[in-house]
Amino acid sequence: MHFGINLGGGDRRGQSRAEGLAARLGKARLAKEMGYHSLWTGAGYLNNDFHPLMLLSRVAAEAPGLELGMVALLPLYHPVEAAEQISTLDVITGGKFVLAPALGWRDFQFKAFEIPKSERLSRFREVQEVMKKLWNQDRVTHEGRYFHLDDVPGAGDPIQKPGPKVYLAANLEKGVLRAAKEADGWLVSSRSTLPTIGIQAPQYRAAVKEAGKPGYIAAWREVFVAESRQQAIDIIRPQVEWLYKDRASLGHSQELPKADRIDVPFEQVLEGRFIIGSPEECIEEIHKYKENGVEELILRSQWPGMEGDVTAKSLRLFAEKVMPEFV
């Protein structure tokens, strides 16, 4: 089983951007030192985060050899710019870049880009289509609904062929099945509960088998290791409560299966989403994911307002006491 680290999760408005960047680079160095497999970041538009591609370009220098992954809101991208940036990062990482395209759900991001949210799926598909052409053709002509290219040169070649590895980020069943048919893997949302994964994972495996593909399941998980479960809860509760109330207020529950709604009490937020407690408790919980076919866990161990050294202590303890059970 592989383990990665989500680089983000730690800033609120008003916090130092310089300190936020330093904390992310610190996580990258810790990941390299402690034997983690990958480093990930999400789509940070207007979310007090860093531009994901630019951040990963900087992170690559701190953690050579690690896989670098990015959740990308493809409906908001122009395919020419995206193709050039992504192929460049694939070269920087030595062919170890993973693209996790997502539809997006925050209304304000679509409004800011002046893109109707109702177009997100059709734009998503067309951006993917054009990028593939740009990576694999010397000359590209494309007449689509949103983009028009008339005999233009292709983009710079990525190392991976026919393009970077793709894990489709999906919450709902139709997205999971699309991941099986159209991508190299499925990236499970941190909002998905373990019971939902238990339902969707067999559906995914059946679909990839039918498609004649190996498939891959990676899951973003909320993880915090401490001396006990109660100590872990006491440490993370203020930041986690703030984050989930904020995401619920933005309407995220509307994009999730009914069983995975996040506009629920704190104790219910933890159920089936969080791997927290002592090393022994975390090991027991991770075995449940392994039994469901999850091959990689990507750890978010920091939430807005949490100090970086608190996060680093948990990630180090996880690497020392939990990872050896699985790697």
306 — pLDDT class (breaks 50, 70, 90): confident
pLDDT at 258: 62
Give SS3 for 259.
helix
pLDDT at 170: 87
Range list of H helices, the chain: 17-34, 52-62, 79-92, 107-112, 120-136, 173-182, 194-211, 229-249, 266-270, 279-291, 308-321
164 — pLDDT class (breaks 50, 70, 90): very high
Residue 299 has pLDDT above 90, yes or no: yes
Domains within the chain, CATH numbers bracketed: 2-325 (3.20.20.30)
Give SS3 for 102.
strand
Residue 255 has pLDDT above 70, yes or no: no
Residue 248 has pLDDT above 80, yes or no: no
For residues 105 and 77, which has the higher predicted lDDT (pLDDT)?
77
Could you tell me if 46 and 109 are in contact, meaning their C-beta atoms sit under 8 angstroms apart? yes
* Amino acid at the residue 30: L
For residues 48 and 115, which has the higher predicted lDDT (pLDDT)?
115
Residue 251 has pLDDT above 70, yes or no: no
pLDDT at 10: 61
pLDDT at 272: 86
CA distances from 79 to 21, 124, 313, 323 (A): 27, 10, 40, 38
- Give which of 233, 230, 221 is closest to 193, Cα–Cα: 221
Q: pLDDT tens digits for 169-187? A: 888 899 999 999 999 999 9
Q: pLDDT tens digits for 56-101? A: 999 999 999 999 999 999 999 999 999 999 999 999 999 999 999 9
Residue 324 has pLDDT above 70, yes or no: yes
Q: What is the mean pLDDT of the chain?
A: 92
